[in-house]
Amino acid sequence: MANITVLDQSTINKIAAGEVIERPASVVKELLENAIDAHATAVTVEIKDGGCSLIRVTDNGWGIPKEEIPLAFLRHATSKIKTVEDLFTISSLGFRGEALASIAAVAQVELITKTGDSLTGSRYQIEGGIEKGLEEIGAPEGTTIIARNLFYNTPARKKFLKTPMTEGAHVAALVEKIALSHPDISIRFIQNNQNKLYTSGNHNLKDLIYTVFGREIAGNLLPVEIKEDWITVTGFTGKPVIARSNRNYENYFINGRYIKSTIISRAIEEAYKPYMMQHKYPFTMLHFHIEPDTLDVNVHPTKMELRFADGERVYNAVLRAVSSALAHKELIPQVSLEEKQEKEARQLAEKLAPRPEPFEVRRRENLEQKTSSSGTAQPGGPSPGAGSVYARQAPPRPSFVSELMPDWLKERRKDQETHSMPPASLNPLKGTHGTGNQDPGKETGIGDSSSSTPIQPEQLDLFDGKLLDPKARLKHKLIGQLFDTYWMVEYNEQLFIIDQHAAHEKVLYENTIKSLKTRQYDMQMVDPPIILTLNMNEELLLKKYMDYFAGIGFEIEPFGGREYAVRGVPANLFSIAKKELLTEMIDGLSEDISVHNPDIIYEKVASMSCKAAVKGHHTMSFQEANVLIDQLLDLENPYACPHGRPTIISMSKYELEKKFKRIV
C-alpha cells in the first residue's frame, strides 16, 4: 500500500502549470491578456520556432513597480481582485494570478518593466520557479516579458508539442482572435523575424476584418447591432455565400474576452438555418457587452469558458440580433460563367509571358530618358513622336512557348485574335457603313476600362428593386422552364433562375409553420397506434413538451413502463408519420436552450411536410409557375429552402455578354 505524502513545491508548481500552459499559444494568451489589462495601446508579440525557443511580448502599459515584481511570480498573486465578492464583477481578462507563476515554472523567464513615475526600469530573471536576479536597467515605459526554452525542465511535456510550424500556427490564430477582440489596440505579430500581422488600433472593426480575413469576407458583411438594458451586441455577420464547413469562423467576444459558448453558437446557427445548407457554418464577428454580475468567468483555468445566469435570455438575444441582420435582405447568389479552362489559360499565359532581361530594361530606360531630354531622335533610337519604347510591339514569342501550349489554348488564342476587332461593316451595333469618327469599343465594351474590370462573384443585396418586391413583380419577364426543373425570369438586366422544387418546399414549409402557430390543423387518428420506447432523458423531454405536441395535433399517452402510444398525428403528416419521424423530433429537442420555445417542434413538423413538394423533372405550366412566384412574394425569407439550398440564383447581363465575346 502506497503511503500518502505531501508534494514538494516544485512538483506542485509544475502540476499547476500543466493546467494553464498547454503549448506556446497558452503562454502568448496569458501574456497578451496581461498587457491588455495593463491598459496598453500597442503590443508586439514575437516568437521563434513556434514559440518553443522564444516568446517575447512587449507592451506600453502601466508597468510593474520594482517592489512588486517578485510578488507577481507567486501563485495566486494578482492585482485584479481582492475578495471573493470581486469574482462576481470581474471586468479584466486575467484574475487568478496563475499565469506568470505557471510560465516561470516551465520556462526561463526574463522581465523588463518600468512604470510611468519611475526614473529607471527593472530587469528580473526567474528560471523553473527559482529567482536568478533583480537589477535596475534603462527601459521605456511598459513591460517586456521573454520566455525561452518552454518546458526545458519537463521533457515529458515537451515531447507532446507539435512541429514548430504547427505550434506557430496556433499562436498566429490566437493573436488574430485577441486582435479582433480589441480593435482599439495596435497589435503586431512577428514570427521568425517576419511580420505576420499588424493592426492599427483605429477602432474600426471592419478594417480589422479586412486585414485578417481578406477582401472576399470583408465585402460580404452585414452589420449587427442591438442595445438592451442588460446586453449590447455589435459587430458583423457574413452573408451565406461565405459560409464554411466548420465553426472556425464563428467569432464572438464577451466583454473583450474570446470564449467558446455552446449557447451562442447554437443561437447563431439557428438564425442562419433558413438561409444556409446543412453542415455549413456562418462567419460572425460579434462583440457582446453583458453586465459582469450575470456571468461566471471562473469556470476553467484557461478562461475559455463561462456560464450565464440566464442562458435562455442570452440565446434569444443572440438569435434576435443575427436574425434581424439577415431579415429583409435579398440574398440571391450570383453565379459566374468563367470556365476552369479559361482560368488555366490565363494563368498559363501570364506564366509564359516574355519578360525583358535586366540589361534590356536598363537599356530601354536610358534610351527613353535621352529621347525625352533632347526632344529629338538619337542615332539608332526611336523616331520623333514614336513615344515610349515600351509602347513598341513586343518581340515575338520564342517558339518553345507555342510548343508548350495545349491545342485548345492555341485554338482559343487564334480565335480571339481573329474576332477581337471585327470590321465596321460586320459590327451589328453600327450602321451598314458606319462613321469614321466612332470608336467601336464604346458600344461593344472593347477597350472600356470600366467594362473590362473583372467582376468578383458576390451575393446580391438589392435594397432597391428587389426581384420579389410586389412592384417589381409587374416587370418580370417569365421566359420558360429549363430541364423541367428550373424557371427563368428576366428582370433588371439580370437572369434569375428559380428551382421549382426548392421554391415549393419553402412555400409549404412557411405555410405549415403558420398553420401550426395559429392552431389551424386537423388531427388524424392512427390505428394501430405507433409505440415509442424512450430512455429516461427522452421521456423527461416528452413530458416537458407534451402540451406543445398536443397543441399541433399529436395525441400521445403512456403505454406502460417507458413506452408511449401515439394515437393521433397532424393530418398533413398522416402519410409520413412513422416511428423514425417521432423519434427524430424528440432527439432534436434541447433541454438547456429551447425551454418554453415550441419553434423547434414546429420546424420538425414543417420540414417533414416538405416531402409533398413538387419534384424536379416535373413539367409545370406558366400559370403554375406564376402562382408559385406569387406565393414566394408573401414569404419573409424566400431565398433558401428549409434545408438551406438556394431557391433562386442570378446571372448578370455582363457575364452573358462576356461569354458571347461581346465584351472582351
Q: Express each pLDDT in 184-202 by its tens digit.
A: 999 999 999 999 999 999 9
How far apart, in whole angstroms, are the C-alpha atoms of residue 65 and residue 111?
A: 12
pLDDT-based confidence at 424, cuts 50/70/90? Answer: very low
Length of the chain: 664
Q: Which CATH number fits domain 331-338+441-664: 3.40.605.10, 3.30.1540.20, 3.40.1190.20, 3.40.50.970?
A: 3.30.1540.20
Domain ranges of the chain: 9-198, 205-327, 331-338+441-664
The pTM of this model reads 0.62
Q: How far is CA 301 from CA 30, 167, 297, 393, 463, in A?
A: 11, 20, 10, 68, 47
Domains 9-198 and 331-338+441-664 share a fold: no
Sign of dihedral through CA atoms 610, 611, 613, 616?
positive
Sign of dihedral through CA atoms 490, 491, 492, 495?
negative
Q: DSSP label at 3?
A: P
Residue 413 backbone phi and psi in degrees, to 5: -65, -40
Residue 593 clears pLDDT 50, i.e. is over it: no
Model pLDDT for residues 310-322, shown as the tens digit of each residue: 888 899 999 999 9
Cα of first residue to Cα of last residue in the chain, in angstroms, is 86
Name which residue leads in pLDDT, 413 or 80. Answer: 80
Count how many Cα atoms sit within 13 Å of the Cα of residue 438 in the half-sphere of its side chain: 15
Q: Which CATH number fits domain 205-327: 3.40.50.2300, 3.40.120.10, 3.30.230.10, 3.40.605.10?
A: 3.30.230.10
Mean pLDDT of the chain: 76
- The x, y and z cell numbers of residue 560, run together, are 406502460
| CATH fold group of domain 9-198 | Heat Shock Protein 90 (3.30.565)
Nearest residue to 161 (alpha-carbon basis) of 108, 110, 106: 106
Model pLDDT for residues 340-353, shown as the tens digit of each residue: 555 555 565 655 55
pLDDT more than 90, % of the chain: 26
CA triple 499-502-503, angle to 5 deg: 80
Residue 218 backbone phi and psi in degrees, to 5: -60, -25
Nearest residue to 179 (alpha-carbon basis) of 60, 21, 43, 30: 43
pLDDT-based confidence at 415, cuts 50/70/90? Answer: low
